[in-house]
Amino acid sequence: MRPSPFNARRRLGGALAAAALLAVSGAAHAAGPALLNVSYDVAREFYKEYNPLFQKHWKATSGEDITINQSHGGSSKQARSVIDGLEADVVTMNQSNDIDAIAERGKLLPPDWAKRLPNNSAPTTSTTVILVRKGNPKGIKDWADLARPGVAVVIPNPKVTGNGRYTYVAAWGAALKAGRTPAQAREQLQRMFANVPVFDGGGRAATTTFAQRNIGDALATFESEVNLIREEFGNNFDVV
């Protein structure tokens, strides 16, 4: 990232599966600009480490002390907040359709935002995994096991979170690859979602439900979230 000589509040935002640039008018204060980064839930820990590095870079290249404020939540919920008027300088979402909504409904980005940076403006990707209790006491081996009676699985609400939607797609694809028909895949997913005790509004909230509140036998989450879970809650989990 580099400061712009034309607009001190024009910055780049990247996320797991989508990135976008918001141009915001207004001159920076003498002490340096204050930026609001509106992002999805599990990016919180990443930005705790990244923001100080960017602030150091900004100070070295511009001489200004920059302030970075954060807003986190489910990806689609955050996108709607921006569309409804939340004044973000940077948006980082984990679904390209959330960025599309900001461009199409909010008119805050150009329609070709994905072509403005390499890799369709997606700086990194992550697969979805199943995290279970240490020793895997329920013997969970694949997505079909999450639909078994007596297995409680924690999944963020797919209506408002990218994490939840990616989980839906992963489970659906796994069912089809296992030879099930679309009707059978749908029935399996219905049983899986019936096993969800809590539909949290974000991936980080789901992590807290599973790892801190000890609810559920399995957690569907991004692979990139697993290392953060182990750092915060200890090596008490296994990855399927």
Q: What is the dihedral of CA 240, 157, 83, 87, to 10 degrees?
A: -70
How high is the mean pLDDT of the chain? 86
Q: What is the pLDDT of residues 32-87, one digit of tens each?
A: 899 999 998 888 888 999 999 999 999 999 999 999 999 998 888 899 999 999 99
Q: Which residue has the higher pLDDT, 17 or 150?
A: 150
Average pLDDT over every residue of 129-151: 97
Which pLDDT value is given to residue 231?
Answer: 87
Which pLDDT value is given to residue 236?
Answer: 92
pLDDT of 206 strictly over 50: yes
Residue percentage of the chain with pLDDT more than 90 = 67
Report the C-alpha gap between 23 and 32 in whole angstroms: 17
Which pLDDT value is given to residue 174?
Answer: 96
Report the C-alpha gap between 221 and 228 in whole angstroms: 11
Domains belonging to the chain, first-starting first, are 10-121 (3.40.190.10), 128-239 (3.40.190.10)
Which pLDDT value is given to residue 19?
Answer: 39
- Residue 16: pLDDT band by 50, 70, 90 thresholds? very low
Which residues are 219's β-sheet partners?
A: 131, 154
92 closest CA partner among 166, 160, 21, 161: 21
Give me the long-range contacts of 136-140 (CB less than 8 A, separation at least 24): 136/238, 136/240, 137/217, 138/217, 138/218, 140/217, 140/218, 140/240
Q: Which residue has the higher pLDDT, 107 or 8?
A: 107
Q: What is the pLDDT of residues 145-200, one digit of tens each?
A: 999 999 999 999 998 888 999 999 999 999 999 999 999 999 999 999 999 999 99
Which pLDDT value is given to residue 125?
Answer: 84
- Residue 134: pLDDT band by 50, 70, 90 thresholds? very high
Average pLDDT over every residue of 121-130: 89
Which residues are 129's β-sheet partners?
A: 221
Which pLDDT value is given to residue 224?
Answer: 85
Which residues are 72's β-sheet partners?
A: 39
pTM exceeding 0.75: no
